[in-house]
Amino acid sequence: MFLKILDRLEEIFISLLMAGATLLIFVAVLHRYGSTVPFLFPYLHEIDMTWAQELCIYMFVWMAKFGAAYGVRQGVHVGVDVLVNRLGANHRFKVIMFGLLAGAIFTGTIAMLGGSFVWDLSGTEARSTDLDAPKWIVYLAIPLGSGLMCFRFLQVAWTFWRTGAVPHSGHHIGGVADEVPGLHPQGIETVPHFPSQETRA
Partner 1 sequence: MSLAAVSTKSIPPNKGGVMATLMILAPLVLLTICLLAKFDYIVVPSGGRGLIIAGLLLSLFATGMPISIALGLSVLTFMFTMTDVPIVTVSLKLFTGIEKFEIMSIPFFILAGTFLTHGGVAKRMIHFARTMIGHWYGGLGLAGVVSCALFAAISGSSVATVVAIGSILLPAMVEQGYPKRFGAGVIATSGALGILFPPSINLVLYAVATSGMRPIGPNGMPVNGASIGQLFIAGIVPGLCLATVLGVVTFYQAYKNDYPRMPKSTWAERGRAFLDSFWGLFLIVIVIGGIYAGLFTPTEAAATAAVYAFVVAVFVYRDIGFKDVPGILLNAASMSAMILYIVTNAVLFSFLMVSEQIPQGMAAWMTAQGLGVVGFMVLCNLILLAAGNVMDPSSMVLIFAPILFPVAVRLGVDPVHFGVMMAVNMEIGLCHPPVGLNLYVASGIAKMGISELTVAVLPWLLAMIGFLLVITFYPPLTLFLPHYLGM
Pick from 34, 49, 51, 64 the residue near partner 1 by CB under 8 A: 64
Pick from 6, 40, 84, 126 the residue near partner 1 by CB under 8 A: 84
Distance CA 8, CA 90 (A): 34
Please write down the long-range contacts of 189-196, taking CB distance under 8 Å and 24 or more positions apart: none
Q: Residue 102 contacts by C-beta under 8 Å, 6 or more apart in sequence?
A: none
We find the least distance from the C-beta atom of residue 176 to partner 1, in angstroms, to be 5
186 binding partner 1? (CB under 8 A): no
Distance CA 138, CA 128 (A): 8
We find the least distance from the C-beta atom of residue 136 to partner 1, in angstroms, to be 11
We find the least distance from the C-beta atom of residue 28 to partner 1, in angstroms, to be 8
Pick from 40, 47, 102, 126 the residue near partner 1 by CB under 8 A: 102
| Shorter beta-carbon distance to partner 1: residue 42 or 174 | 174
Distance CA 149, CA 69 (A): 4
Pick from 110, 144, 148, 156 the residue near partner 1 by CB under 8 A: 110
The conformation of residue 2, written as its DSSP 8-state character, comes to H
We find the least distance from the C-beta atom of residue 41 to partner 1, in angstroms, to be 19
177 binding partner 1? (CB under 8 A): yes
To the nearest 10°, the Cα dihedral for 133, 139, 140, 141? 120
